[in-house]
Amino acid sequence: MKDRNTSRADRHGLWLDLAMVVLMIAAFGWLAFGPGFAFATSGIGALLAFPFAIGALYARRMYTADDYPLTGCLIIPVALLVAILAVVWLGGFEGLICIAMILPLWIVGGAGGAFAVYLLRYTAGDGDADSGGARLNSVGLALAPFAIIWAEMTAPAPWEDRIVSRSIDIDAPPSEIWPYLVEIPDIAENEGRRTFTHDLLGVARPREARLVHRAGLLVRKARWGRDIRFEEIVTKVVPGRSIAWLFAFPDDSIQRYTDRHIAPDGPILKLVGGGYDLHPREDGSTRVVLSTHYRMRSRLGWYLGWWGERTLGDIEENVLAIIRDRSGNVTDRRS
């Protein structure tokens, strides 16, 4: 009779943990893709606590096994989290750039949750994974990430201002380079340089930037790939020396064709402005500096800031390479 009761408790505990995992994934999906919850997916709760809880719930299930290998404890929950992200990407729900940003944190969180429970079992010895207290722990683990997400939404992180700059030395005077800072028409697909952001993460490459006059303003109208459009409202022009602008986004083409959670004027990220500066050098060459100013807020600013530096830096280096090649040899730029 005792064995039968134990077996029944094991099954009840297993189904409870499975139900907690399913409910967590469903609730997280609602937060990630539901209306008005964009900010919920950028903090500690979503990026670390959620995978930690998934890993811990799986490791808790391993209590009932006679053999409790550390490798299985770590690998299986991580594989589950990777599979979730793969389904999200293959289903077209998320762009590759967002998946790449989430994946390292989810691996660390999932493995960390499983390892924490493993250590608790190792130090505390055998225990009943399906006792009343253990079942309460399952519910607590499932609710903890959403409690953290709610706290982060209630008291959001402050905005941080960041500037990403890249430079290139071009063997030409400022007068030959300046026209390509003002506008660059008909950019071929093979212009520029190979980058991690464009070639691996799939961010579209620039196709043109044209200067137009509108309502007394100078506006650089940019098009990237076939579908992405945005504008740069020129705020300062010193011919042959510098040009600066503020970004404007007349539609949602950036998030629609890149990643829905990377809105350039949203609750997490705001692309503010940018500009070029030309610095003549004594040897007759010119140093061109391209800068981008953006604002972001997240409890994980140190991590997301690294991605901002990497992706925006790649984009700037590609644009500077196009300017260099056109300034040096316009006729051969399509070869």
Q: Write down the pLDDT at residue 46.
A: 86
Taking alpha carbons only, the member of 231, 266, 226, 228 closest to residue 246 is: 231
User: Using 50, 70 and 90 to split pLDDT, how confident is the model at 133?
Assistant: very low
Convert the pLDDT of each residue in 172-223 to its tens digit. Answer: 999 999 999 999 999 998 999 999 999 999 899 999 999 999 988 999 999 9
pLDDT given at position 38? 58
Count CB atoms within 10 A of the CB of residue 183: 14
Q: Which residue would you say has higher pLDDT here, 124 or 244?
A: 244
Asked whether the predicted pLDDT for residue 2 surpasses 50, the reply is no
Specify which of 36-40, 104-108, 116-120, 261-265 reaches the highest per-range mean pLDDT: 104-108
Angle, CA of 271, 325 and 224, to the nearest 5°: 35
- When pLDDT is averaged across residues 63-89 and rounded to a whole number, the result is 69
Q: What is the mean pLDDT of residues 226-255?
A: 94
Position 124 scores a pLDDT of 55
Give Cβ neighbours of residue 279 (< 8 Å, ≥ 6 apart).
286, 287, 288, 289
Rounded Cα–Cα distance for residues 27 and 49 (Å): 14
- What are the pLDDT digits (tens) for 282-292? 999 999 999 99
- The pLDDT confidence band at residue 334, using thresholds 50, 70 and 90, is very low
Closest CA to 177 of 319, 27, 35, 77: 319
- With helix as H, strand as E and coil as C, how does 82-149 read? HHHHHHHHHCCCCCHHHHHHHHHHHHHHHHHHHHHHHHHHHHHCCCCCCCHHHHHHHHHHHHHHHHHH
* CB contact set of 263 (below 8 Å; sequence gap of 6+): 38, 252, 254, 255, 269
Burial class (CB in 10 A: 0-12, 13-18, 19+), 78: buried
Does position 6 have pLDDT exceeding 50, yes or no? no
**Cα distance between residue 172 and residue 281, in whole Å:** 10
With a cut of 60, say whether residue 92 has pLDDT above it.
yes
Average pLDDT, the chain: 81
Task: Return the C-alpha torsion angle 188, 289, 316, 264, nearest 10.
Answer: -120
pLDDT value of residue 117: 80
Could you give the residue range(s) of every CATH 3.30.530.20 domain in the chain? 160-332
pLDDT at 5 over 50: no
The first and second tokens of residue 200, run together, are: 């691996």
Q: Which of 41-45, 125-129, 275-279, 297-301 is the least confident region?
A: 125-129
Q: Give the per-residue pLDDT at 160.
A: 95
pLDDT of amino acid 110: 87
Q: Which residue has 């959001």 as its token pair?
A: 156
Task: Return the pLDDT at 178.
Answer: 96
Surface-to-core class of residue 333, CB atoms within 10 Å of its CB (0-12 exposed, 13-18 middle, 19+ buried): middle
CATH code: domain 160-332 is 3.30.530.20
Judged against a pLDDT cut of 50, whether residue 8 lies above it is answered with: no
pLDDT score recorded for residue 175 = 94
pTM of the entire structure? 0.83
Strand partners, 220: 211, 232
